[in-house]
């Protein structure tokens, strides 16, 4: 798959079918658009192209307003897995806010991408003041001779699949619904940092994660997770919270990795959220906290390590 990171670098002369959007999460609705694009390209011997943005357009106007479901790297990998031939991933910058719908279509989609067909969602908007929409695109398609396919909203249980709804589900810790709408389990990536070193004294060492500020952190609480370390996969008991029993002051994301005993400070690891077990509690003694940790890890051992089935979500 070709990856192009600036408008000036695009110079595609193959006949192409393309889909445009931010695609944060590449959720089940996005997947429909992308699969249609790939299939149409295959059937018609064309190139399948995704045109997307590096940063969220809404964050251009209100910085840090929206947190991402996927990093750009993860998003690009998903496009590749879905069979896309070329990804154009460009910054949403001042130029994007000033270009007219006509110029966007003519100078980028026609002249640089050689698009013969454009597949978009019903609520897609683009160009200055969001003046471009499916109707405008249909009008321009007659002028420049391309085809437009508008895909109706994908709904599950009568709720439209959208990145904003999925963000809310992640913040609510509703992992079953997250998986239903996203199509896969939510994951976060972070670096293992030093903390208070209390975990190992309790008999439960925990890998404390530092994550990028634009990452969406699930609701506080205790979770069963899958832990990816280099090429290895383990199960973990993750706590997102303030550790009230030991009077913690800042939010930590920490994981006791089952059947694991290695120093991983400084490594990047990924957590896949499988099941939310409970809220964080303030215990009256360290002994009670230890008993609860034993209970949590036993549960994960029985339900995940023994079954080795990451998708058993109750
Ligand atoms: C699975 C799991 C569940 C936890 N549950 C709680 C809890 O309910 N209440 C609490 O105060 N701390 C809880 N903790 C946090 C412990 O207090 C913490 O792991 C310990 O203080 C070690 O901290 P350190 O990594 O900074 O050394 C939990 C930790 C894990 C891994
Ligand atoms: N089973 C395990 N789960 C998590 N971390 C482990 C495990 N075994 C060893 N470690 C190592 O121990 C560190 C955590 O020990 P801990 O005493 O909790 O210190 P800290 O307060 O720095 O997190 C981890 O960062 C990791 O390098």
- How much is the ipTM here? 0.92
Domains in the chain, number: 2
Contact 236, 258 (CB under 8 A): yes
Q: What angle do CA 93, 141, 132 make, to 5 degrees?
A: 35
Question: Sign of the CA dihedral 271, 274, 280, 284?
Answer: negative
Q: What is the pLDDT along the chain (314 residues), one digit of tens a residue?
A: 999 999 999 999 999 999 999 999 999 999 999 999 999 999 999 999 999 999 888 888 888 889 999 999 999 999 999 999 999 999 988 888 899 999 999 999 999 999 999 999 988 888 898 899 999 999 999 999 999 999 999 999 999 999 999 999 999 999 999 999 999 999 999 999 999 888 888 899 999 999 998 899 999 999 999 999 999 999 999 999 999 998 888 999 999 999 999 999 999 999 999 999 999 999 999 999 999 999 999 999 999 999 875 544 43
Q: Does 180 fall in a domain? A: no
Q: Is 254 a catalytic residue?
A: yes
Residue 163 belongs to a domain: no
Q: What is the pLDDT of residue 308?
A: 74
Please identify which residue in the block is written with the tokens 């030093």: 194
| Ligand 1: centre distance to CA 311 (Å) | 25
Ligand closest to 265 (CA) is: 2
* Whether residue 250 sits in one domain with residue 131: no
Distance of alpha carbon 131 from alpha carbon 138, whole angstroms? 13
Burial of 33 (0-12, 13-18, 19+ CB in 10 A): buried
Q: What is the pLDDT of residue 311?
A: 47
Distances (CA, A) of 186 to 167, 182, 230, 290: 10, 8, 19, 28
Domain boundary, last residue among 143, 158, 173: 158
| Cβ contacts of 256 within 8 Å, gap of 6 or more | 199, 204, 205, 206, 207, 236, 237, 293, 297
Ligand nearest to the Cα of 246, by number? 1
Distance 239 CA to ligand 2 centre (A): 13
Query: In this predicted structure, what is the pLDDT of residue 310?
Result: 52
Does an H or E element contain 137, and which? Answer: helix 134-144
Q: At what angle do helices 175-182 and 163-171 cross, to 10 degrees?
A: 160
Instruction: Say if ligand 1 is within 6 A of residue 299 CB.
Output: no
Residue 256 lies in a domain: yes
Domain of 296, in residue numbers = 185-305
The CATH number of the domain where 222 resides is what? 2.40.30.30
The predicted pLDDT at position 78 comes to: 97
- Taking the C-alpha atoms of residue 296 and residue 204, their distance in angstroms, rounded to an integer, is 11
Q: Where residue 91 sits, what CATH number does that domain have? A: 3.40.50.620
Q: Which residues contact 206 (CB under 8 A, 6 or more apart)?
A: 195, 199, 239, 254, 255, 256
| Residue 164 is assigned to a structural domain of this protein | no
Q: Looking at the structure, do residues 200 and 125 belong to the same domain, yes or no? A: no
Shared domain for 103 and 140, answered yes or no, is yes
Specify whether 130 is located in the same domain as 39. yes
- pLDDT for residue 64: 80
Query: Is residue 73 assigned to a domain?
Result: yes
**Per-residue pLDDT at 210:** 97
299 exposure class (CB count in 10 Å sphere: 0-12, 13-18, 19+): middle
Q: Please state, in angstroms and rounded to a whole number, the distance separating the CA atoms of residues 288 and 209.
A: 25
Same-domain status, 108 and 246: no
Residue 165 lies in a domain: no
């Amino acid at each position: 798959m070709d990856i192009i990171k600036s408008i000036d670098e695009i110079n595609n002369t193959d006949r192409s079918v393309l889909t445009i959007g931010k695609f944060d999460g590449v959720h089940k609705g996005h997947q429909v658009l992308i699969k249609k694009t790939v299939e149409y390209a295959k059937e018609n011997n064309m190139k399948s192209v995704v045109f997307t943005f590096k940063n969220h357009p809404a964050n251009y106007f209100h910085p840090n307003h929206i947190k991402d479901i996927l990093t750009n790297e993860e998003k690009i990998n998903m496009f590749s897995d879905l069979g896309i031939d070329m990804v154009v991933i460009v910054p949403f910058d001042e130029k994007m806010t000033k270009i007219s719908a006509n110029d966007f279509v003519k100078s980028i989609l026609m002249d640089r991408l050689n698009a013969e067909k454009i597949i978009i969602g019903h609520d897609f908007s683009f160009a200055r003041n969001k003046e471009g929409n499916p109707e405008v695109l249909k009008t321009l398609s007659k002028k420049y001779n391309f085809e437009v396919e508008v895909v109706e909203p994908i709904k599950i249980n009568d709720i439209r699949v959208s990145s904003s709804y999925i963000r809310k589900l992640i913040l609510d810790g509703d992992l079953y619904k997250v998986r239903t709408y996203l199509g896969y389990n939510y994951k976060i990536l972070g670096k293992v940092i030093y903390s208070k070193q209390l975990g190992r004294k309790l008999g439960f060492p925990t890998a404390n994660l530092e994550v990028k500020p634009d990452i969406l952190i699930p609701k506080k609480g205790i979770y069963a997770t899958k832990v990816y370390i280099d090429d290895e996969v383990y199960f973990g008991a993750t706590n997102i919270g303030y550790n009230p029993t030991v009077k913690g002051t800042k939010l930590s994301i920490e994981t006791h990795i089952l059947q694991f005993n290695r120093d991983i400070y400084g490594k990047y690891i990924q957590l896949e959220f499988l099941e939310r077990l409970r809220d964080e509690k303030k215990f009256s003694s360290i002994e009670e906290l230890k008993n609860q940790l034993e209970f949590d890890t036993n549960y994960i051992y029985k339900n995940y390590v023994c079954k080795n089935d990451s998708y058993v979500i109750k």
